């Protein structure tokens, strides 16, 4: 059975490159002919996660794994972690700066968007350690 | 309606990919916040935005939208136009405000992409 696996590092603070990893993953999905609706859900979830790594975290990585049945995106960062996960998951809740808002993000919809688009969504976060998100998308 | 018709309605100028002018667009969604766009945009939906950096193009790219329109006559950043060209995204610029752009398109019969029914809690969408 075919499995494609890759890991991409994401640098904190660099808004000009934010979205590069998601675009690469999308290109790979297109190449192997993932259905458009699945591709859109994976792309939205991955892009929101990548933006969060850039604007909220100290940097981290995105792991991408694709089999014939499903695509798994795991997003792990090196901190600072999220103190109140329940609040963070609320639509509209955001700690983003005005600078980030001027870049079009910080509407507090990122985590809810990830959850809505994934078939399985898991988030764990420890302050001082980091955040670990897994999204599974059935093909 | 086609992008060519949309360009006429908005007196818009092509920034790239004019060869795609006959592409069909069924719905429109307007916002400067990309997470709102990512939350609400579905198939055949074009984006109207005042956000002129490359994140607007990247958002359009993730969603495979048929067309991207910059409003208020704000010329997008160079890297945004370059990226739109690279990915083959029809991109236009109109001098109309967001309000007027939406008004003209709505009057011409453009549909709004149906949002999930408002449930009375959460969210603070500004679209
Ligand atoms: N990787 C992360 N590291 C630290 N904090 C995060 C991370 N992801 C999200 N958060 C926190 O959760 C909040 C909500 O995230 P999100 O729903 O993506 O909205 P937004 O990014 O627009 O603020 C953020 O404002 C931030 O406080
Ligand atoms: Mg976010």
What confidence score (pLDDT) does residue B43 get?
A: 82
Q: Which two tokens stand for residue A116?
A: 């809505």
Of A97-106, A119-128, B47-56, which range is least confident? A97-106
Q: Which two tokens stand for residue B24?
A: 């069909």
ipTM: 0.93
Strands B68-70 and A120-126: unpaired
Asked if A100 and A37 count as a contact pair (C-beta separation under 8 A), the reply is no
Domain count, chain B: 1
**What average pLDDT does range A54-70 have in this prediction?**
97
Q: CA of B57 to nearest chain A CA: how many angstroms apart?
A: 10
pTM for the full predicted model = 0.93
CB contact under 8 A, A19 and B62: yes
B26: domain CATH number is: 3.40.1390.20
Q: Which domains does chain A have, with CATH numbers?
A: 4-138 (3.30.565.10)
What is the share, in percent, of chain B residues with pLDDT greater than 70? 89
Domain limits for position B18: 3-110
Residue B127 has pLDDT above 70, yes or no: no
What confidence score (pLDDT) does residue B22 get?
A: 97
Quickly tell me which residue has 């018709």 as its tokens: B5
* pLDDT per residue as tens digits for the range B81-105: 999 999 999 999 999 999 999 999 9
**B120 lies in some domain:** no
Residues of B in contact with A98 (CB under 8 A): none
**B115 lies in some domain:** no
**B27 lies in some domain:** yes
Give me Rg for the CA atoms of chain A.
14
Asked if B62 and B20 count as a contact pair (C-beta separation under 8 A), the reply is no
Instruction: State chain A's mean pLDDT as an integer.
Output: 96
Q: CA of B109 to nearest chain A CA: how many angstroms apart?
A: 26
Q: Is A97 in the pocket of ligand 1 (CB under 6 A)?
A: no
Instruction: Please tell me the distance from the alpha carbon of residue A112 to that of residue B96, in angstroms, as a whole number.
Output: 32
Instruction: Please tell me the distance from the alpha carbon of residue B49 to that of residue A55, in angstroms, as a whole number.
Output: 21
What confidence score (pLDDT) does residue B118 get?
A: 52
């Amino acid at each position: 059975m075919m499995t494609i696996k890759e890991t991409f590092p994401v640098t904190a603070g660099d808004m000009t490159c934010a979205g590069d990893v998601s675009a690469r993953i999308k290109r790979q999905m297109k190449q192997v002919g993932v259905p458009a609706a699945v591709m859109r859900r994976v792309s939205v979830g991955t892009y929101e996660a990548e933006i969060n790594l850039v604007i909220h975290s100290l940097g981290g990585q995105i792991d991408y794994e694709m089999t014939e049945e499903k695509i798994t995106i795991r997003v792990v960062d090196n901190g600072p972690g999220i103190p109140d996960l329940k609040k963070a998951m609320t639509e509209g809740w955001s700690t983003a700066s005005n600078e980030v808002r001027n870049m079009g993000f910080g509407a507090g919809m990122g985590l809810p968007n990830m959850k809505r688009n994934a078939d399985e969504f898991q988030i764990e976060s420890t302050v001082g350690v980091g955040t670990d998100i897994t999204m599974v998308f059935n093909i | 309606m086609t992008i060519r018709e949309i360009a006429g309605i908005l007196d818009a100028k092509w920034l790239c990919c004019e060869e795609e002018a006959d592409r069909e667009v069924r719905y429109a969604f307007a916002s400067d916040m990309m997470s709102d766009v990512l939350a609400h945009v579905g198939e055949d939906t074009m984006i109207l935005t005042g956000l002129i950096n490359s994140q607007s193009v990247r958002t359009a790219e993730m969603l495979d939208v048929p067309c991207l329109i910059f409003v208020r006559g704000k010329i997008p950043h160079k890297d945004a136009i370059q990226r739109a060209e690279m990915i083959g995204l029809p991109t236009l610029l109109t001098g109309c405000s967001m309000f007027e752009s939406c008004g003209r398109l709505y009057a011409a019969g453009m549909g709004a992409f149906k949002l999930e029914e408002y449930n009375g809690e959460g969210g603070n969408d500004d679209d």
